[in-house]
């Protein structure tokens, strides 16, 4: 395993995603002053080899905070970036989910407002020319959306899951057409009610079966390997005997979608404020972008992992 810090040029660099586009590596992440509460921007960096990185573009939102940019490639070969825009005012906090599009990662078209107001469309996955995304909001349930262009999303399932505060998610479409969903929950901390869930559905993805994976997770992401096995990257948490939070770290795990089993592969160098991986399988290696604050301030890291 090779792990290196690839960006640390702001007080707070976090929530990255990774993609391979036009034979180059692209990584997007939020730059700001702290975890929240300031007007963060999205920076996109690029590398030919994964070792040497430079800034390619930066997206701003006037007086608002852009967070958790996620990258995908449309059926037409465009780069798509979706993000949440948090805006604070005297009337309270409002959120819009936005999408942007680019042919080169430099010039961007958008933003396009997607989904419903105050619903955070977390990540976009394309399957058979259709984009799918799960959004969550203040009402503490998740909603499944679909789109044919990434610019206008319609509701596929109004309430996909509504117990114990579901929110962040990862979708993975299998070769047989089935879809897996790894879902974070935040409610009864340290007492099992906040354990993550693994969901599975077949087309048209309107009926889901859910299994408790036995642990609390954050910032989930999944990727399928060439042999069909599934790897997840998740933030894990430790609570003491009194149910109080003590620490967190980033793990890679095997996912068994037949019985919901979740088996740790390894812990990546991480600690403190950390997690939120992006993953790409490329030429026999798992490439993982993530952020961590175990070395000074929160920074962006890249791991290259060989799996057997």
What domains are defined for the chain? Answer: 2-305 (2.120.10.10)
pTM of the model: 0.95
Mean pLDDT across 11-34: 97
Binned at pLDDT 50, 70 and 90, residue 192 comes out as low
Nearest to 230 by CA among 252, 202, 208, 203: 252
Residues sharing a CB contact under 8 Å with residue 221, sequence separation 6 or more, in sequence order: 123, 170, 182, 232, 233, 234, 277, 278, 279
Question: What was the pLDDT predicted at 187?
Answer: 76
The dihedral built from the CA positions of residue 191, 164, 167 and 215, taken in this order, carries a sign that is positive
Question: What was the pLDDT predicted at 191?
Answer: 55
Question: In terms of residues, how long is the chain?
Answer: 308
Mean pLDDT across 296-304: 96
Question: What was the pLDDT predicted at 205?
Answer: 98
Question: What was the pLDDT predicted at 284?
Answer: 96
Mean pLDDT across 178-199: 85
Residues sharing a CB contact under 8 Å with residue 108, sequence separation 6 or more, in sequence order: 57, 59, 81, 100, 101, 102
pLDDT for 22 beyond 80: yes
pLDDT for 182 beyond 70: yes
Question: What was the pLDDT predicted at 188?
Answer: 60
Question: What was the pLDDT predicted at 114?
Answer: 98
What SS3 class is residue 152?
coil
Binned at pLDDT 50, 70 and 90, residue 37 comes out as confident
Round the average pLDDT of the chain to a whole number and report it: 94
Nearest to 175 by CA among 119, 228, 115, 214: 228
């Amino acid at each position: 395993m090779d792990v290196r810090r690839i960006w640390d040029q702001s007080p707070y660099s976090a929530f990255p995603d990774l993609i391979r586009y036009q034979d180059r590596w692209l990584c997007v992440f939020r730059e700001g002053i702290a975890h929240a509460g300031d007007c963060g921007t999205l920076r996109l960096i690029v590398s030919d080899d994964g070792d040497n990185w430079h800034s390619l573009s930066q997206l701003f939102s006037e007086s608002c905070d852009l967070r958790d940019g996620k990258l995908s490639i449309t059926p037409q070969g465009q780069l798509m970036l979706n993000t949440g825009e948090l805006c604070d005012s005297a009337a309270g906090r409002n959120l819009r989910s936005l999408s942007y599009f680019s042919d080169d990662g430099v010039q961007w078209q958008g933003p396009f407002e997607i989904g419903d107001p105050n619903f955070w469309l977390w990540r976009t996955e394309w399957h058979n020319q259709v984009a799918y995304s799960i959004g969550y909001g203040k009402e503490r349930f998740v909603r499944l959306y679909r789109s044919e262009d990434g610019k206008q999303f319609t509701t596929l399932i109004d309430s996909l899951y509504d117990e114990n505060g579901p929110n962040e998610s990862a979708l993975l479409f299998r070769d047989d057409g089935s879809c897996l969903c790894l879902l974070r929950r935040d409610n009864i901390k340290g007492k099992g009610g906040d354990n993550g869930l693994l969901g599975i559905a077949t087309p048209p993805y309107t009926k889901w079966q859910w299994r408790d994976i036995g642990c609390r997770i954050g910032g989930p992401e999944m990727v399928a390997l060439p042999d069909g096995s599934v790897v997840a990257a998740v933030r894990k948490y430790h609570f003491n005997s009194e149910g109080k939070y003590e620490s967190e770290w980033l793990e890679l795990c095997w996912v068994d979608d037949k019985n919901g089993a979740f088996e740790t592969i390894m812990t990546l160098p991480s600690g403190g404020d950390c997690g939120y991986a992006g993953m790409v399988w490329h030429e026999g290696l798992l490439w993982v972008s993530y952020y961590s604050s175990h070395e000074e301030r929160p920074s962006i890291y890249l791991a290259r992992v060989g799996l057997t």
